[in-house]
Structure 1
Amino acid sequence: MPRINPFTLQMEVTRMFEQGQAFFATLKVQDWLKERNEDPTAYDILFHQKPAPPGSGQVTVVEIELRRKDGQPVDTWLQEEANRHA
């Protein structure tokens, strides 16, 4: 049975950056890809820190960018799910 996590991947990665644990963010995204039956070695994982939307209660938010190493486009649903807010 899958583990239920009330936090989105983006929220967890943003928290890691805030706590100075950015190194572990890549591992978190790789585990997230494995849970979705994707090969994490097939992707380059990039992080972009941006100002948080007004009223969110956060200062910054980290956007996750997935790039396939073979040059093929990343599935739209996968990229959107990685950056889902809530």
Structure 2
Amino acid sequence: MFENRALEILIIAAVVLLLFGAKRLPETARGLGKSLRIFKSEVSAMKTDTAQANTVQATTAPRADLRAVPAETGGNRVDAEAETTNRV
């Protein structure tokens, strides 16, 4: 089984060498390495941004908009407008 796999790898390597040539092969490998590095850094930055957004969202929980009515109308009652906006 290993002999078949090694033969396949050699054939693929020979085809790649014929397609790209000996001079362009190192340049192509460098370009591929750079693009993979950039992709990896962008993915990690995206994960960091998502984690920060989730943290900010969790720490800033929505609060009820309760406005006290002036003291001369009872003082402890909640404004009727605030009651209707907070109702689910």
Is the structural similarity TM-score above 0.5?
A: no
Query: Normalising by the residue count of structure 2, what TM-score does the alignment of the two structures yield?
Result: 0.21
Query: Normalising by the residue count of structure 1, what TM-score does the alignment of the two structures yield?
Result: 0.21
The structure with the largest strand share of the pair is 1
The structure with the largest helix share of the pair is 2
Structure with greater contact order relative to length (CA < 8 Å, sep ≥ 6): 1
Larger CA Rg, structure 1 vs 2: 2
